[in-house]
Amino acid sequence: MNTVYFGLELRRIGRDLVSMFFIAILPAFMYLIFGAAQDYGQESAGNGNVTMYVMISMAAYGAVTATTGIGGMAAVERMQGWGRQLGLTPMPDSQYVLVKSLIGLCIAGVPVALVYLLGELTGADGTVSAWLLSGLLVMVGAAVFAVFGLVFGLAFRSEAAVGAASGILVIFGFLGNLFFPLDGVLLAIAKFTPLYGYVSLARRPLTEGYLVDQTTGQAEFEPLWVAVTNVSVWLLILSLLAIWLVRRGRGRQ
């Protein structure tokens, strides 16, 4: 592992204050508004309270914003010629992927750590296993969205496109039952959108799979396969797209 390269990459991303705001500060802020500051926060949500439910959601949002940005920038920097520069060094592609993956992990860890810390300080409550497992699932699942960013970067080859990809995450957040609970037709649609499976899985250690129907107030159980299928299918779609785009890019050089 090339620690010098890793350290410089980390410094480079840390310098981008605008991105770091969207990755870390915005999710923390949204958690405080929609989670910690609400009256419903102390109501039960399975293995913990609603504040914790919001905490997991916002941490997940921050984590995917981070991995989308890093995946996208990796694609753009390679397309814009840094790949050729690295092609003149002994560094193998696998080393580059390893460095970028670890960077993604570190940067995604920032909003997760920050939001979970704020959660602990402002009344998020849950079992120890719910805390640990949800945190782990947020981090692992965020990796899927590195591929989402990669696809945008490969397809449009510009920093602006990567910014747009992060922006689209907000829409997927609403559609994916991430920012507030959906029901009825919207919930039915939500199950097909890319963030739904990811955030459902991350919350599962807390909710045990129960969804709250806001109109009836009744808890409804959703089998595990729904979320797992959603994540698997989206990972497959995005990976195939990425492979196709890489091939197209090679043919064009």
Partner 1 sequence: MSSPSAPAIELRGLHKSFTRPGHPSVEAVRGVDLTVDRGQIVAFLGPNGAGKTTTLDMVLGLTEPTSGTALVYGDRPRRAITAGRVSAVLQTGGLLRDLTVRETVRMIASTFPRAADVDDVLERAGLADQRDRMVSKCSGGEQQRLRFALALLPDPELLILDEPTAGMDVAARHDFWAAMRAEADAGRTVVFATHYLEEADSFAERIVMIAQGRVIADGTTAEIRSRATGRTVTASLPPGRVGSVAAALREQEHVAEVSLAGSRITVRTGDSDRVALALLTELGGTELEITTGSLDDAFLAITGDDQLHTGADTEIDTQADTQEGVR
Q: CB burial class (10 A; 0-12, 13-18, 19+) of residue 94? A: exposed
Distance (Å, whole) CA 77 – CA 99? 14
Q: Nearer to partner 1 by C-beta: 137 or 162?
A: 162
Return the residue of 21, 82, 180, 244 that touches partner 1, per CB under 8 A. 82
Provide, rounded to whole angstroms, the least separation between the CB of residue 90 and partner 1.
Answer: 4
Distance (Å, whole) CA 26 – CA 118? 13
Provide, rounded to whole angstroms, the least separation between the CB of residue 105 and partner 1.
Answer: 20
Contact 231, 144 (CB under 8 A): yes
Answer yes or no whether residue 91 interacts with partner 1 by CB under 8 A.
yes
Provide, rounded to whole angstroms, the least separation between the CB of residue 20 and partner 1.
Answer: 13
Q: Nearer to partner 1 by C-beta: 228 or 246?
A: 246
Q: Nearer to partner 1 by C-beta: 73 or 115?
A: 73
Return the residue of 2, 42, 214, 218 that touches partner 1, per CB under 8 A. 2
Q: Nearer to partner 1 by C-beta: 87 or 167?
A: 87
Distance (Å, whole) CA 43 – CA 80? 51
Contact 42, 51 (CB under 8 A): yes
Answer yes or no whether residue 88 interacts with partner 1 by CB under 8 A.
yes
Q: Cβ contacts of residue 231 below 8 Å, gap of 6+?
A: 141, 144, 197, 198, 201
Residues lying near partner 1 in the complex (CB under 8 A) are found at: 2, 4-5, 8, 11-12, 15-16, 77, 80-91, 95, 251-253
